[in-house]
Structure formats: C-alpha cells, structure tokens
Homo-oligomer: A and B are copies of this chain.
Amino acid sequence: MTGETVILAYSGGLDTSCILKWLLDQKYEVICVLADVGQKEDFVAAEKKALKIGAKKVIVSDVKRSFVEDYIWPAVQMGLVYEERYLLGTSLARPCISVALMEAARQCGAKYLAHGATGKGNDQVRFELCAYALQPDLKIIAPWRNEEFCRRFQGRQDLIAYAQEHGIEVSAKPATPWSTDANILHISYESGILEDPNTVAPSSLYELTVDPLTQAPSQPTRLTIEFRKGLPTSVKNLSNGQVFIQPLEILNFLNELGGSYGIGRIDIVENRYVGLKSRGVYETPGGNILFTAHQDLEVFALDREVLRTKQILRDRMTDYVYNGFWFSPEAIYVRKCIELAEEKVSGQVTVELAPGYCRAIARKAAENVGALYNEELVSMDVHGDYVPQDAGGFIAINAVRIREHVRAFGPYKIPKRSQ
C-alpha cells in the first residue's frame, strides 16, 4: 500500500494512536482527522502527538455547530429515543463526524478510511454506512476486524506495550474500568465493570452531572423553551431572565444547568444492531430537558391521529439512526414526513428543573399560529361547540362490534374477582 493515503478518524487516545502507527507500518500515508463534537480534549496536544507518531497531516475539524443544528436539533424535533430511553448521543455524532472525514478524504484525495471502532459495536456500522453513502468508492480499514491486528493486540496491555515500544505517549492517568464516549450531547459509559448489568455504576463515574442528592441546588429552576415547527428556538431562564437563542448556546446552557441538577442519567441494557445486548450508562442533561419539553408540546399541538402516525414514523426513524442509516433512502424519506407533521408544533413549554429530573409544568401555543387545544370546548362549565347527547350515539355505534362479538361468541368472561 506504499504511498496510499488513509484518513484516520483519530481521537488522540491509545487505540487510535496505535492504529496510526500500525497503518504507518503497513506503508500507508496517514492523515488524522479529529472532529470536535464537543468532547473535552486537548486538540493541540493530540495534533502534536499524531504528528510525532508520523501522521502526514492532522486536521482538527470543529463540527460542534453542525452537530447541534444538523443532527441534534432534528433529533429533538423528531423525538428520537431508542428503546424508550436512550437519546442517541453517540448515534447522532457518527454521521456528523463522517461528514468531516469525507470532506478530508475528498480534500486530500484519500482512497482509504480507517477507524478504531470495535467489531462488536454499532459505531463501525454507522461510520461505514455513512462512508458508503457519501463516498462509495472509499475503502474501509477497520483494524479491529483485521485478523492480524486482532491477534497482535489481544488486550489493552498489548496496546500499551506497543505504544511504549514505539515512543507513543501513554496517558499517566490510570484508565477507568469502563470506556467513555463524550460529545456535546452526552457522555456514554460502557464495558469493563459495567458489563455485569447487575453491578451498580459507581457514583464517581458521572462527569457531566452532579449527584442530585448531595450536590444539586436546593431550589428548582424554571425555564421556558420555545419551539418553532418542532425545533427549539429559544430558552429563557425564568429565575434571572437570561435568554438563549443560538442552538449551540442553548445546548451549552442546558447542559451546564441540567448537569448542575444531576439531570439526564440513565442506566440501561440496549439491543445493538449487530445482535448483542449491551449495558450502557449515559448522561444527557441538555438533551433530556429538550426532549421533555418537545414531547409535551407535541402532544399538546398535534391532532391525535397525526400524532399516532408521527409516532410510528418516529419509532422507525429511531432504529434507522441507531443502526447507522442516517444517510439512507428510508431515513431521508421518513425525516421529511416527520418534518411535515412538526410544522404544527410551535409554542412554548415551561419545564421545572429539580435535582435529578425535569418535568413540563405548563405550555401554550405560539401567538401567531392556530392551536388545537380549546379551553372552551373542554370546559366543564360551558358546552362550547359540543353536544353531549352526541356522545351516546358515538358510544352505541362503537359498541356494535363488541355486542356482535357477544352475540356470536357469548358474553365476555368476567374475571373472577380476586377477593
């Protein structure tokens, strides 16, 4: 492979540093791309490290704004949540990072893309499906699926030995007994001691959120979050009147405030696309707040039957995104359909942040658009435009099928009551 250029999705960590060196050993020219999606990282140091190992070039690509506006905001709008709890922090970052990788590949004329994702995980699928979609002629190098590489590096110790042997700096900080993926939407923790799903995650694990019981403020904070067509457009802190409107600033603010309340922790076992069940712990403070507010507004704003269809579409979209199909015919199609539904989701929700949780406590429609909620219609005190007598016919006709079933097959078995 003498002279062929590889784009390496580089993190600065032990794995991708060793992969960098290993690629150089295979005679590739390696261009490292560090996508800044909001992880806490010393990008300057990482760049220096890669160059020292032998990277031909290091590209640090700040994609934070794109991540928020092109991936996280749409996910909030669509209401995506995997298996009812996971807000897709990693899944959403992958296509965003992939775009940065493709840009670098195009710019540098690279024919290869290498990544450090493992062979048992979802990320390999996500990176590679994006590559197939965006630049189908790019060839993939996945060292953790390479037999020779896997034989050589059977555990962390082999990586450390190799690093030391080749003068690659190894962090003095002892490794945590779990692995971490961080970005502006979340931090995820998995593997190591977390592999036993019955082991409670230690409180020292959490980085984005404080312990709600001991470190959170004793007073709640109320926020008013505005949405237009399902997208967050402003957040107002009702305690002090502060307002945020730029997406990245909104998310930064909500992460910080939500984190200070210990909001957004989950501990789950999830189903990976490759067929495994894995345990993950996640912190998503800002995302949790936005999801809570959007969910409330959506049920408030949408016609019931439109909502039902939207929910079916959302469930399909969630699997597409988790499984790595962000750039696919089906995801692009379903996303357009959901956006059509969201055209009616404009208004504001007041949420209350308290230690460990946030919840919606009030909502109203945007001023200049119509609203399906009808205070007069639902009122117990006025009829509004509703004739109660009609409900009798409604019920009777709905009962036709039930009564026919009784006629044909006998009465419903009344459960013998537990007494």
Contacts from A to B (Cβ < 8 Å): 62-63, 65-66, 68-70, 83-85, 99, 102-103, 118-120, 124-125, 128-129, 132-136, 140, 142, 144-145, 147, 150, 155, 179, 191-192, 195-201, 212-213, 218-220, 247, 265-271, 274-279, 295-296, 299-300, 303-309, 311-313, 315-316, 319, 325, 327-330, 332-334, 336-337, 340-341, 344, 350, 354-357, 359-364, 370-375, 377-381, 385-412, 414-415, 417-419
Contact = CB atoms under 8 A, between A and B. Distances in A.
A399 to B, nearest CB: 4
Contact of A388 (B120, B265, B402): B120
Contacts of A124: 391, 395
Question: Top 10 closest A-B pairs, CB basis?
Answer: A393-B393, A119-B388, A275-B400, A370-B408, A305-B330, A390-B393, A394-B397, A271-B304, A303-B329, A132-B399
A403 B138 CA distance: 12
A391 B356 contact: no
B268 A299 contact: yes
Nearest to A267: B361
B136 A414 contact: no
A197 B330 contact: no
Contact of A65 (B296, B328, B405, B417): B417
B408 A372 contact: yes
B398 A391 contact: no
Nearest to A386: B120
Given A133-B412, A198-B363, A378-B120, A400 B386 contact: yes
Contact of A378 (B134, B144, B195, B371): B195
B389 A119 contact: yes
Contacts of A316: 309
Contact of A134 (B140, B327, B330, B412): B412
Given A197-B362, A266-B359, A390-B396, 13 more contacts: A124-B395, A132-B399, A132-B406, A136-B411, A276-B386, A277-B374, A306-B329, A327-B412, A328-B402, A328-B405, A357-B357, A377-B404, A385-B407
23 contacts: A65-B418, A120-B378, A128-B396, A133-B403, A133-B406, A142-B392, A145-B391, A196-B375, A198-B350, A200-B362, A212-B354, A268-B296, A271-B299, A274-B397, A274-B400, A275-B399, A279-B378, A308-B319, A328-B402, A355-B356, A372-B404, A390-B397, A393-B396
B311 A315 contact: yes
B329 A340 contact: no
Contact of A120 (B328, B359, B380): B380
Q: Determine which residue in A306, A334, A364 has the highest number of CB atoms from chain B within 10 A of its CB, and name it.
A: A306
A200 B361 contact: yes
Contacts of A328: 305, 401-402, 405
A300 B274 contact: no
Contacts of A315: 311
A418 B305 contact: no
A387 B119 CA distance: 8
A97 to B, nearest CB: 12
